[in-house]
Structure 1
């Protein structure tokens, strides 16, 4: 698992490191430039010309010193300075490279196009506002040039607290992350503009970083294992899952969720849907035990875990099923239209997993989608405080929060933006809970496995081609 920190925390770690080293920041700036250069040298050994964009702050200082390392390695270095350095260390760095014969020039589109590599050392992690002129014109030119870009600590224009990319944010091929991974790399636009992230730890003692509580943890697929099944077991050993949904015209949603629940390993999977869906659902997946709402009371009593929402709708039928399910005191997985029911009649419960996407989260919080996306961490924590249980806030960098631990999923791709993908996740989490896995761990495992499998399918079939139902055949863990 990788700890993720905010820019504010990173600054605090930097200040503490300076204090321990008895340094004013110069040594750390040199280490940052050296380690970033090592990243470039490793990634592009055949390159010989780099164009370095330097800003007025400390990130610009990193860029000046990066130029020094590239120059010493025999590269043709062009330093582009938009405004003179303002930060004391950046002024010192600029003076040093000038003394070594490295020229500092104004912006040149021609020099940009002639470079093998562009180094973004404009603003780093401190920027949390849109880029104004002339900076946005420079970043536009970089993106239009379509050159390999190495961002030092953060692509200019990205808010590293939220992952929101302001207009004209530089799209980097790779990012050299100084000291620690920032949470903004893996949320919203972060993964689109950061490219591959390389940690440059500046040789700091790991205990220095570990003294700070990270904003979140991002798990790796290897951190999870599906429960092992004993030879001496039977279907009753792995729980009974009941999934409720599939109003008229939406049978596919409950079908996908139920099939995913089976594939996740639940011993018995039962479905409550419209009477007209009983035969087609059974024909689609013979292992499902399908009935309609006249059997609801008994099915609720028999279930180990209940999932409600996929294709549920908002009819009187849907509301009746929702209200009965919520009265059971069983473990619940609440998704889709069941979340919309909850938003209208909110209550707090400790034994459920809620899986909203941003629009559903906005309804639950009585906010706008923009407010949710501007601070997803605050949103997921507010949801958990208001509703209890475990919250999965879906999106780019899905968040899982149980009131104590916050996890961020760094897997997933744009191909997951298809109808039915959330239904698969609901069924997967439900199947894991049915087998006795805790709600929190099931949510973490489900989200990670779901997104990781999608990534493998995207590599095989392309993001546009694969379907949510393809995940049913390819759980990869």
Structure 2
């Protein structure tokens, strides 16, 4: 099994940059040229037949990378023009030297967007405006340059990070939309969470010879897990029987929401749980038994009627279709007192955020699975604050409620006492109703099959996203939650 990839803060990568220069015993301009050569090699590999290149350079080292790339293009006899967002006379250090190098190679450098020819589909844009040090608001001139890049009909290549994207949080108001990003020295968290996956395109990593010992000495913000680094379920013994693999009770399905609770039950069953019980409104029993006769469906009209059902299960999943009625609150209150692991989702999270049910409760044996809006309600803040720093939000929810928190998104985060993990599986076709209900059932089933909560959360997120990716091979639009069920079954082994 592979080790997860560490994702660093911008400051940690700057420190790694300094240590790399010292370890290699080279001037910093040589490391800049090494980065530019690596970037140009990937650029040329993908767009070797491009007609011309426009390079947008800022005033820092990222701009310096851009000037060197322009020089390399000129050496290859590729028509290249640089737009200098910062007057070259103001450049300092390595950026100044890189600009001189480009000029010696005959690169035309322009200081005004109005002087720059309009790009066409045969023009490759190289974005070297802002590096990993960017945060806060864009200067107006940089904003205008980014808008010009975004209107370009041709491909866009970003150096280290798309300009306007925060390297630590993945937050972006106005940012470059790249087709490829080549990043250096250490992987930055912002490329893989928040807006990062939507803005970076294909991400290529070049370590530039950074010493492994220096990387290991730095504390990453997040560990990124993939199919090869996530622990899987062990093989089943030949003499297996159903009680070995967990009895899951799924609680929810208020009036009008019966499908949600049934989908959670089905995903638990398809993920290998030994027994599935369902506690829901009486009117949903017939549909549940028709759709999935393997489920033991029970009618409950109050928290008191739920009580006897809490004695048998090994895991309780509460929230899918739960609603926010007095019935909903009663069921959550009773389920929350059970002495077995809980998976809490959907309206159970919204009720929890309200503070009237399970107020102040912290549990080490529950998994909370909020999306951005639910996380904001749990923290009593605006969704913009969660989107501004998803990692910080996931950590804050985990610290407030303990246990394990799965903050769902394009880069789903798993926060726990040991740190924060990230899994990138999934696709935009999964932006449809019922997907979260499936994830709830998967998490519960994996816990029932004896995975520790953190490992169950990681594997569940990957299974869910990978099943979505396989199902989406037939098309993104129209992808339904239930389309994932056959794939979940195939992938779980």
Q: Shorter chain as normaliser: what TM range? A: over 0.9
Q: Distance in 2 between matches of 1:111 and 1:368?
A: 40
Q: Distance in 1 between matches of 2:390 and 2:118?
A: 40
1:457-468 matches, cutoff 5 A: 457-458=471-472, 460-468=473-481
Residue in structure 2 matched with residue 308 of structure 1 by the alignment: 318
1:105 maps onto 2:116 in alignment:
no
- RMSD over aligned CA atoms reads 1.6
Q: Distance in 2 between matches of 1:151 and 1:66?
A: 11
Q: TM-score, normalising length from structure 2? A: 0.93
1:297 maps onto 2:299 in alignment:
no
Q: Distance in 2 between matches of 1:6 and 1:462?
A: 36
Q: Distance in 1 between matches of 2:423 and 2:72?
A: 35
Q: Distance in 1 between matches of 2:27 and 2:116?
A: 36
1:119 maps onto 2:126 in alignment:
yes
Q: TM-score, normalising length from structure 1? A: 0.96
Residue in structure 2 matched with residue 213 of structure 1 by the alignment: 219
Within the candidate set 403, 406, 425, 1:411 is matched to: 425
Residue in structure 2 matched with residue 143 of structure 1 by the alignment: 150
Following superposition, the deviation at residue 461 of structure 1 comes to 2.5
Q: Distance in 2 between matches of 1:100 and 1:239?
A: 68
Residue in structure 1 matched with residue 466 of structure 2 by the alignment: 452
Q: Distance in 1 between matches of 2:346 and 2:40?
A: 47
Q: Secondary structure at the match of 2:249?
A: strand
Q: Secondary structure at the match of 2:140?
A: coil
Per-residue Cα deviation, 1:198-256 (whole angstroms, up to 9, x for no partner)? 00111222222121121111111233333322221111111100000001110001011
CA contact (8 A) 1:52 1:119 kept: yes
Residue in structure 2 matched with residue 397 of structure 1 by the alignment: 411
Residue in structure 2 matched with residue 63 of structure 1 by the alignment: 66
Q: Distance in 2 between matches of 1:114 and 1:245?
A: 52
Q: Distance in 1 between matches of 2:283 and 2:33?
A: 70
Residue in structure 2 matched with residue 202 of structure 1 by the alignment: 208
Q: Secondary structure at the match of 1:353?
A: strand
Within the candidate set 367, 376, 380, 2:390 is matched to: 376
1:17 maps onto 2:31 in alignment:
no
Per-residue Cα deviation, 1:263-300 (whole angstroms, up to 9, x for no partner)? 11000000001122122211111111001236533321
Residue in structure 2 matched with residue 33 of structure 1 by the alignment: 36
Residue in structure 2 matched with residue 242 of structure 1 by the alignment: 249
Flag structure 1 segments of 5+ consecutive residues without an equivalent: none
Flag structure 2 segments of 5+ consecutive residues without an equivalent: none
Residue in structure 2 matched with residue 352 of structure 1 by the alignment: 366
Residue in structure 1 matched with residue 331 of structure 2 by the alignment: 321
CA contact (8 A) 2:314 2:448 kept: yes
Residue in structure 2 matched with residue 441 of structure 1 by the alignment: 455
Instruction: Provide closer, same or farther for how the CA distance between residues 271 and 114 of structure 1 changes in structure 2, counting only shifts above 3 A.
Output: closer
334-343 or 250-259: bigger deviation:
334-343
1:280-291 matches, cutoff 5 A: 280-291=287-298
Q: Secondary structure at the match of 1:319?
A: helix
Task: Give the length in aligned residue pairs.
Answer: 475
Per-residue Cα deviation, 1:80-107 (whole angstroms, up to 9, x for no partner)? 2132242311101111221232222233
41-50 or 88-97: bigger deviation:
41-50
147-156 or 339-348: bigger deviation:
339-348
Q: Distance in 1 between matches of 2:280 and 2:317?
A: 12
Residue in structure 2 matched with residue 364 of structure 1 by the alignment: 378
Residue in structure 1 matched with residue 161 of structure 2 by the alignment: 154
Within the candidate set 468, 471, 474, 2:484 is matched to: 471
Per-residue Cα deviation, 1:384-414 (whole angstroms, up to 9, x for no partner)? 1111110111122111011113111212222
Following superposition, the deviation at residue 346 of structure 1 comes to 3.3
Per-residue Cα deviation, 1:151-175 (whole angstroms, up to 9, x for no partner)? 00011111111111222x1111000
